[in-house]
Amino acid sequence: MKKSFIETIDNDKVGDDMFQLMSELYPICRSITGNGVVESLNILNRHLPLTIHEIPSGTKVFDWTVPKEWNIRDAYIKNSKGEKIVDFKKFSLHVLNYSVPVKKKVSLDELKEHLFTLPEYPEWIPYRTSYFKENWGFCLSHNQLLEMNDKEYEVCIDSSLEDGNLTYGECFIEGEEPDEVLLSCHACHPSLCNDNLSGVSLVTFLGKYLSTLSLRYSYRIIFIPGTIGSITWLSRNETNISRIKHGLVVACVGDPGMSTYKRSRIGNAEIDKAVEHVLKNSGKPYEIVDFSPYGYDERQYCSPGFNLPVGCLFRTPHGQYPEYHTSADNFDFVRPEYLSDSFSKYISVLKILENNKRYSNTNPKCEPQLGKRGLYTAIGGKSDTNADQMALLWVLNLSDGQHSLLDISERSGIDFDRIKDVADILQQKVLLQELQK
């Protein structure tokens, strides 16, 4: 028999496990299509059974078209002595992602138009892409660029950009209800830890854990390329979208910054209330920001034609840490303890969603007599009332069909878990009846 959601997990172990999985995925050069994604999904599949979907290049998905498939085998710059001074095989960020094939000698001046560096962080290598405009290029440290004095260099990018597929992975965990919780992460970035091996890894272990539980909701977990992936997924699943009752985009969950929640476009959806409740009660600093139409795949889920209740729970927002989209987004920056802290917050949020039901008080006129049911202390007159009695009274008073258990927790200031426990007892005593949605 599966476990209930209330049971706890070993956070230290899960932090280490996530970190380990990230290490395995790190060297692979992923992109929005191609073998790197496929290889990564195969690794994830060992932890979580995935359905792999392949969508042919050229498929129309809303206003977009699935692009050609990009694969790369090798890429380097050789100096006049024939030495490889930039070598993709050593580090996947070195190539402009989606570079078309090239093999020729070029002058330094011409080459410079194809080189990307970060002058403000001269030791770091940037991550750059050119998905929708054909181009080629290399990314390297600015210090390295300053040392390049040869007149001519040999450049080689052994890539292909051809009709093929866009690949994504999907895991469906069936719960009691057909209503779904969507967990979405982009799995298209190459060797970048926080963005988004951290998200990929957290979602994998979240799915693994959910699979062991007896669940109310069904969970749909998707590993997709950013933007084109969520557009493709929404396009192919349009008829079932109304099943999604709550969702989170998972990214940037391993850095040392505080937890940040970006609200859904709806702004006060149940997922918004649940995450805010968890962060408010976490005892740690946090930040809540309103929806804006820039970021990750929430841009698509929250487009006006869908307007899904999907928020994003990350740590430092993308673009607000200097390591973002550079070689410094590595294993010095992302650490197991931050992964583990994020993981436990996701668990707390899902626990609320699973248990956040509405009840109707079966005895709404005056209080029921709690004493005869063993729910009230016998000696009266004291000035203190214990917390469980207050929880009982709050749940009874607000179970009028208008308030969920989370609403009651917020209104009373009493911990959600205690409110939930008390509701269970009252339901056993037939003083509450669960309401269908």
Residues in contact with its own copies by the rule CB under 8 A: 62-64, 97, 116, 126-133, 135, 227, 230-231, 234-235, 238, 265, 292-294, 299-300, 302-307, 318-319, 324-325, 361, 363-369, 371-372, 378-385, 389-390, 393-394, 396-400, 412
Pull the structure tokens for residue 399.
């179970």
Q: Which two tokens stand for residue 165?
A: 């597929």
Q: Which residue has the tokens 């469980």?
A: 388
Residue ranges in 211-335 assigned as alpha helix (H): 228-236, 270-280, 298-301
Question: Do 67 and 166 form a contact (C-beta atoms < 8 A)?
Answer: yes
Q: How far is residue 157's CA from residue 172's CA, in Å, rounded to a whole number?
A: 38
Burial of 90 (0-12, 13-18, 19+ CB in 10 A): exposed
- The Cα–Cα gap between 278 and 273 comes to 9
Minimal distance in Å, beta carbon 347 to its own copies?
30
- CB closer to its own copies out of 215 and 224: 224
Q: Rounded to the nearest whole angstrom, what is the least distance from the CB of residue 221 to its own copies in the complex?
A: 20
User: What is the closest distance, in whole angstroms, from the C-beta atom of residue 49 to its own copies in the complex?
Assistant: 28
Considering beta carbons, is residue 86 or 231 the nearer one to its own copies?
231
Compare residues 51 and 363 and give the one whose CB is closer to its own copies.
Answer: 363
Minimum separation from the CB atom of position 180 to its own copies (A)? 19
From CA 123, how far away is CA 361, in angstroms rounded? 64
- State the nearest-atom distance from the C-beta of 173 to its own copies, in Å: 25
In the complex, least distance from residue 263 CB atom to its own copies, rounded to whole angstroms: 13
**Closer Cβ to its own copies, 12 or 134, answer by number:** 134
Pick 116 or 331: Cβ nearer its own copies: 116
Minimum distance, C-beta of residue 270 to its own copies, in the bound complex (Å):
21
Question: Based on CB atoms, which residue is closest to its own copies, 283 or 304?
Answer: 304
Minimum distance from CB of 150 to its own copies (Å)?
25
What contacts 50, CB < 8 A, 6 or more positions away? 41, 44, 169, 170, 171, 223
With a CB cutoff of 8 Å and minimum separation 6, the contacts of 220 are 170, 171, 172, 173, 180, 181, 182, 183, 244
Residue type, 334: V
Q: Which residues of 143-159 are buried (b: 16+ CB within 10 A; e: fewer)?
A: ebbeebeeeebbbbbeb
Amino acid at 283: G
Which residue number, 86 or 391, has a Cβ lying nearer to its own copies?
A: 391
* Nearer CB in complex with its own copies: 214/363: 363
